[in-house]
Amino acid sequence: MNLIGGIKRNQWVTHFDLSMENQNPWLRNYIAFIGLLGSIRPEVIYLETMKDDENERLSGDNDYILSGFPPNSRYWSFVIYDFENRRIEPFEETVANSYRTPIQKTGLYEIILTDHPENYPGKIAINHGGANFSIIMRIYGPNLKYYTDKESIPVGRIKKGNHNG
Amino acid sequence: MGKWITKLLGTAILTHGFLIWIGPEIVMRKLDRDLEAAKMYVEECGERWKNGVFYINPSCLSNKSSARKPNPDFLYYLIPYDLSNGDLYVSTPVPSDDRYWSIHAHNRNTDAFYRISNTEIDKDKFEFLITRDKSKTADIPIAYATSKKGVILNRLVMKDFSEYEMLDTFRRYTFREYR
C-alpha cells in the first residue's frame, strides 16, 4: 500500500490523484489492474473498503447496515464487487445511489447489505448474493473542500445487522 | 565491485521502468481485444459498435476482462482512436437535466489528459477535437493528447434502470471523424 499511497478515512481508502498525469506511477499500475479508466479530480472521489466498523472483512455470510450523512455532491453511489474486483449478479441489485436512496429525518441514509433483500421490506438494500465483497463509494461533483480536508468527507459506517429487518 | 553495483543499479532501474509501464499496457491491450470482439453482433447485447463508437450495454459487461468495477448506474461509451489517421473530431449530445454526464480522454498509459462535465456546457451538444499538435487552434475546445493512441470515455448516469432505452437512443447521436 505504501508504494501507491492512499488517504484513509476510518476503514475507507481513497486516492486523490487517480488517473491524473502527475500520479504516482505505481498507483497507475495498480489502478490499471483493478479499475482501468478512472475519472479524475475534481470530477470524482472514489472511496473503497473491504472491512466493516469492527475491521473485519465484509462477508457474504452477514447482513450489514451502511449508514451516514450524504456527501455534498452532484451524485453519489455505493456499489459492491467481489474480492476479485468483478461485478456481482444481478448487477442491478448491487448499487444504491443518491437518486433512489431516501434521506431520513435525521439527515442520514441507511442501506442494507444482504443476500435476502426480501427480509427488509421498504428498505433500500444492496444484494451481495452471499459473496464476500468490497464497497466503492463514488462521489461525483464533490464539494472541493473534500480534497483539502479529508476529514470532511462523510464516509459511511458499516455495522453487522440481522435477518429480522 | 563498482561495476557490479552499477549493473545492479541499472537492472533495478530498468525493472522499475518496465514494471510501471507494463501494467497499463497489458490492460489497454486487453481492452483492444475486448473492443475488437465487441464488433461482432450479439443479439442480446444489441448494436454495440456504430461508426467508431462502442456503446457499452451494461447487461453485456460482466465477462469482459477489461471492464473492472464499472458503475452499474452508468451508461458508458468508448471511442478508441489513433491520431496517425488525423485529428479526431467528436460531436456528442449533452443531457439538459441535472443528471451526471462527463467526457474523459485517456492516453495509452491510461492517464486522463482531458475532462469535462455537463455543468461546464450550456448547449445540448458538445464538440471537441483531439490532436497531438500543440500549435493547433480551432473554434471548438481542443484536447491535446501526448500519445497517438488513446480512448475517449463518456459516462451518463441512469437515475433508474428503466431509463436505459431512452438514454441509449440519446447517446447514439454521437459522431466522430478524423480530420
DSSP state of A91: G
Q: Is A84's Cβ below 8 Å from some Cβ in B?
A: no
Average pLDDT over all residues of chain A:
87
In the block, cell 431509463 appears at B163
Q: Give tens-digit pLDDT for B61-110.
A: 655 555 567 888 999 999 999 999 999 999 999 999 889 999 999 988 88
pTM (two decimals) = 0.85
Give yes or no for a contact between A96 and A77, defined as CB atoms under 8 angstroms apart.
yes
Domain definitions of chain B by residue range = 2-178
Asked whether residue A75 carries a pLDDT value surpassing 90, the answer given is yes
- The residue in chain A having the minimum alpha-carbon distance to the alpha carbon of residue B152 is A37
State the Cα–Cα distance between residues B55 and B78, nearest whole angstrom. 7
Residue A14, Cβ density class (10 Å: 0-12 exposed, 13-18 middle, ≥19 buried): buried
Facing residue for A94 by CB, picked from B24, B72, B159: B72
The cell for B120 is: 461546464
The predicted pLDDT at position A1 comes to 47
How far apart, in Å, are the Cα atoms of A2 and each of A18, A20, B47?
15, 19, 44
**A32 with B26: Cβ contact below 8 A:** yes
Q: Give tens-digit pLDDT for A52-73.
A: 999 999 999 999 999 999 999 9
Q: How confident is the model at residue A26 (pLDDT cuts 50, 70, 90)?
A: confident
Angle of CA points A40, A46, A51, to nearest 5°: 160
Facing residue for B73 by CB, picked from A21, A39, A77: A77
**A28 with B66: Cβ contact below 8 A:** no
Report which of residues A8 and B135 the model is more confident about: B135
Q: Is A136's Cβ below 8 Å from some Cβ in B?
A: yes
Percent of chain B with pLDDT over 90: 55
Asked whether residue B39 carries a pLDDT value surpassing 70, the answer given is yes
Tell which of A26, A33, A37 to mutate to test the B interface (max B CBs under 10 Å).
A37
Q: Is A74's Cβ below 8 Å from some Cβ in B?
A: yes
State the Cα–Cα distance between residues A150 and A130, nearest whole angstrom. 32
Report which of residues A14 and B79 the model is more confident about: B79
- B156 contact partners, CB below 8 Å, separation of at least 6: B74, B75, B76, B95, B99, B100, B101, B167, B170, B171
CB atoms within 10 A of CB B85: 11
State the Cα–Cα distance between residues A127 and A133, nearest whole angstrom. 11
* Average pLDDT of span A132-151: 92
CATH of B2-178, one of 3.10.129, 1.10.1160, 2.60.40, 2.40.160: 2.60.40
How far apart, in Å, are the Cα atoms of B153 and each of A21, A87, A156?
16, 20, 29
* Average pLDDT of span A14-20: 71
DSSP state of A69: P
**CATH number for region A7-160:** 2.60.120.600
- Report which of B62, B55, B60, B100 is spatially closest to residue B78, judged by C-alpha positions: B55
**A40 with B104: Cβ contact below 8 A:** yes
DSSP state of A101: P
What ipTM goes with this model? Answer: 0.83
- The residue in chain A having the minimum alpha-carbon distance to the alpha carbon of residue B154 is A39
Q: Give tens-digit pLDDT for A93-133.
A: 999 999 999 999 999 999 999 999 999 999 999 999 999 99
Number of H helices, E strands in chain A: 2, 10
Domain definitions of chain A by residue range = 7-160
Report which of residues A20 and A105 the model is more confident about: A105
Report which of residues B132 and A2 the model is more confident about: B132
The predicted pLDDT at position B62 comes to 56
